[in-house]
Homo-oligomer: A and B are copies of this chain.
Amino acid sequence: MLKRTRDIQKALSESGYRITQPRQAVIEVILRARRSLSPEEILARARKIDPGVGLATVYRTLDVLHAEGYLERVRIGNKGYTLTCTEKTLHFHLICERCRTVTELQSDRFSRDLMAQLRAAGFEARKHAIEIIGRCAKCQPSE
């Protein structure tokens, strides 16, 4: 089991959530994944750990993780994919439309610039989603 899994479980427990087998399975699947996964994909993988897991539980666990700030949801077209993210600061996602890998980038300058603009507009930001969709370095159209 990954170390992060324990940490998250401990935090959830302290927030009053019960640590159940299905939840453990889902959390571990998400942390292990090297790219963002759709709920269906999470389900398939979680069932290898705990065969009884249901789709509803995957969604519920995603909700819990989201509510606790451990996860963000990113969409590609009409399909929803999930990815781990514990960063609270401004960041953006580079989503490769071919391999679906999601790379996270941050920039302090970028962040300051954006915050200044928001203030100027009188806009109070609650959350953000900065998604750049295209091809990652590995998936460039050959030639």
On whether the beta carbons of B123 and A94 are closer than 8 Å, the reply is: yes
Inter-chain CA distance A122–B134, complex, in Å, is 11
Q: Which of B107, B113, B137 contacts A123 (CB 8 A)?
A: B137
Select the stretch in A5-13, A22-30, A125-133 that faces chain B.
A125-133
Check B137–A121 contact: CB distance below 8 A.
Answer: yes
Chain copies in complex: 2
Chain B residues within 8 Å of A129, by CB: 129-131, 133
Q: How far is the CA of A135 from the CA of B127 in the complex (A)?
A: 10
**A62 shortest CB reach to chain B, Å:** 12
| Complex-state Cα separation, A132 to B125, whole angstroms | 6
CB-defined contacts of A124 to chain B, threshold 8 Å: 134-135, 140
| Bound form: Cα–Cα A96–B126 in Å | 10
Residues of B within 8 A of A132 (CB): 114, 118, 123, 125, 127-128
